[in-house]
């Protein structure tokens, strides 16, 4: 399963700093616009205390955590939808991700230039979102042209679709993000993607107005000092204490991204060989989880044994769970639950 978070925002807001802190990968974080041209891609482990507890039971030699992909995308500027800066390239990369992590600069720094010349987080958010909306309007207008050409051969269906498309265009022109009115998925609209706002600042006063607005709109957000997060990621615990650095919020961010992707985790234990966490979309059947483990498991599926991770940890072994009769036998239509530990039986 390849699900990704796209790190977006104006140039010089901290995108590459965050990417480096997340992945521990050296990336260019120079102070000039469009430092990132081709997107940096990194795989990030999902922190999960449950996996650690299961490993204590299994004594596994190999531990495989769940992961998600982060993509550091080039900075956007006003006019991107018309091709300004790296606009078309930027917007194409956004189309490929599942969730947008929108970095907003909320800090003052004379040595870090701002493409709009001053610090105004609310304006910067509007610039990025407006460019996404403009690109979506362009997408809708192209679709309208296509459907109008097909109207002669499928008049009834084309008429119904045109009405939907025109309503969507009107909503977008009013500045509404597509996520608020659930357009058909086949349109692949940029503003239909969930967004997490990350306010890059250590001063809550700078972003209090925005936080209130996010709360009213029930929008996901975090306040983080990304320069400090990078320092924390590069230092040992004793060094962090020596420099008086606070506690990292990186785990909180990663978990929020995971939840926004609508993922849950199930686990497998192969004796003392491997204990693994598997990310899967919420609501998926166990047969789909079996296919993730191995293609043959789905094709040759007979049934599966399932136990909640907490019960397994409390009892202390898979065999113990078997003896106490708490392993559930389930068929291919069983809906996986977060924290399930499963064993697939197959031909």
Give the pLDDT means over successive 10-residue stretches in the chain (347 positions): 87 89 60 47 91 95 92 74 54 90 88 80 92 92 91 78 95 94 92 95 78 84 92 84 84 93 96 95 96 91 97 96 96 97 94
24: region left, alpha or beta (phi > 0 left; psi from -120 to 50 alpha): left
Query: What pLDDT sits at residue 35?
Result: 39
- CATH code of the region 4-46+67-259: 3.40.50.300
Listing DSSP states for 270-301 in one string gives ETTTEEEEEEEETT-BHHHHHHHH-HHHHHTE
Per the CB < 8 A criterion, the answer to whether 342 and 284 are in contact is no
| Domain ranges for the chain | 4-46+67-259, 283-346
Q: Is 40 helix (H, G, I), strand (E, B) or coil?
A: strand
Per the CB < 8 A criterion, the answer to whether 36 and 7 are in contact is no
Please say whether the structural domain 283-346 has been given the CATH code 3.10.20.30: yes
Helices 250-260 and 226-234: angle between axes, nearest 10 degrees? 110
Query: What pLDDT sits at residue 82?
Result: 58
Query: What pLDDT sits at residue 260?
Result: 94
């Amino acid at each position: 399963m390849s699900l990704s978070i796209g790190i977006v925002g104006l140039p010089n807001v901290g995108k590459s700093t965050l990417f480096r802190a997340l992945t521990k990968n050296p990336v260019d974080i120079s102070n000039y616009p469009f430092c990132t041209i081709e997107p940096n891609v990194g795989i990030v482990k999902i922190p999960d205390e449950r996996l650690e507890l299961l490993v204590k039971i299994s004594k596994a030699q190999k531990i495989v955590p769940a992961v998600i992909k982060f993509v550091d995308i080039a900075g956007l500027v006003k006019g991107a939808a018309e091709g300004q800066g790296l606009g078309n390239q930027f917007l194409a990369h956004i189309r490929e991700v599942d969730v947008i992590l929108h970095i907003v600069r909320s800090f003052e720094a004379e040595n870090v230039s701002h493409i709009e010349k001053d610090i105004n987080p609310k304006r910067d958010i509007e610039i990025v979102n407006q460019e996404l909306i403009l690109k979506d309007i362009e997408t809708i207008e192209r679709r309208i042209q296509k459907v109008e050409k097909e109207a002669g051969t499928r008049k009834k269906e084309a008429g119904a679709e045109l009405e939907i498309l025109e309503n969507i265009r009107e909503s977008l022109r009013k500045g509404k993000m597509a996520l608020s009115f659930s357009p058909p998925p086949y349109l692949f609209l940029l503003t239909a993607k969930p967004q997490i706002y990350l306010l890059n600042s250590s001063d809550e006063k700078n972003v209090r107005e925005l936080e209130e607005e996010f709360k009213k709109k029930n929008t996901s957000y975090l306040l983080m000092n990304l320069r400090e997060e990078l320092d924390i990621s590069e230092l040992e615990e004793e060094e962090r204490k020596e420099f008086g650095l606070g506690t990292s919020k990186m785990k909180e961010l990663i978990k929020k991204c995971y939840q926004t992707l609508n993922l849950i985790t199930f686990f497998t234990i192969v004796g003392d060989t491997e204990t693994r966490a598997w990310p899967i979309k919420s609501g998926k059947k166990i047969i789909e989880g079996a296919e993730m483990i191995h293609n043959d498991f789905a094709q040759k599926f007979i049934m599966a044994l399932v136990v909640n991770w907490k019960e397994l940890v409390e009892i202390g072994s898979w065999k113990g769970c078997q003896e106490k009769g708490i392993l559930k036998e389930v068929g291919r239509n069983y809906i996986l639950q977060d924290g399930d530990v499963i064993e697939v039986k197959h031909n």
